[in-house]
Amino acid sequence: MKKRNLLFAFAMIASLAGCTGGTSTTASSSADSTLSSVSKAEPESSAEPTMPDAPDQASSSNRTADSSKQAQDAEGTVVVSYSWPVTGMGTTDTDTSASIVLENGNLEGNTAWTAGLIADELGADQIFLEAADAYPVDYDELVDQAKNEQNEGYHPELKEIPDLSKYSTVILVTPNWWADLPMPLYTFLENEDWNGKTIVPVVVHGGSGFSGILDTLSTYADTDEDNALSISRSSLIESEQMIRDWAKEL
């Protein structure tokens, strides 16, 4: 009898244990950006980019583990661009500003227009970067401010740092500003995790070509220099089919 009672007690305990369980939840977030600022290659000058501070060892190892998981999950292409703001310009004639495209009565920054073509051809997602403090709409004032920021090594904040965790290829469409990237793009580069990602550079310029932009990008991320594209702003509209063909071959 005692033996049967003990067996019964064990059976009841096992039955109760089997009734317990657990639940899990997942959360995801995405960063989106809106329209932005800048574009024009001016006389070449070199500005030494300010590199980000080295992280401490503990945070670096944690970030490496997390980014390795992200790199495994990342796929697809995104087109990221930074362009001169055109809001409030009215009916500005493109002859008065080499950094604006006027097409079908619509004003767009050179790089925003170029990025739109590439994203359309690839069916890719598109992100517009925007500085937290808007740049001047007046072209001469904008050029002066850009030069001062470069001389001071000042990297302006962005309104938002986009989440690129689901992408493995980032087509970065940028103007050549004083033979360099626009300073807000340094903020973008410094605040992204580039592990497992490749940047494909597209540079719109006024005669300076890539300047040192490819070398700068390669200090932050794997950079596809073989497929890098530079386009003169003076022949931008005429280059539409060339840009589309380039995108198809990526």
Quick: pLDDT tens for 217-249. Answer: 999 999 999 999 999 999 998 999 999 999 999
Sign of CA dihedral 206, 123, 163, 229: negative
201 in a domain, yes or no? yes
For residue 85, which of 147, 128, 35 has the smallest C-alpha distance? 35
Global pTM reads: 0.67
Structural domains counted in the chain: 1
Helices (H), the chain: 2-17, 57-73, 110-122, 139-152, 183-190, 213-218, 240-248
Domain containing residue 87: 40-46+72-248
Q: CA 197, 201, 204 angle in degrees (round to 5)?
A: 155
Return the structure tokens found at 250. 């990526």
Give me the CATH number covering residue 185. Answer: 3.40.50.360
- Tell me phi and psi for residue 235, to 5 degrees: -125, 25
Q: Please report, as a single letter, which amino acid is at residue 161.
A: I
62 in a domain, yes or no? no
pLDDT at site 248? 96
Specify the range with the lowest mean pLDDT, choosing from 81-85, 168-172, 209-213, 245-249.
Answer: 81-85
Mean pLDDT estimate for the chain: 73
Q: Give the model confidence (pLDDT) of 93-152 as tens digits.
A: 333 344 555 555 566 789 999 999 999 999 999 999 999 998 888 888 988 999 999 999
Cα Dmax for the chain: 103
Residue 16 has pLDDT above 60, yes or no: no
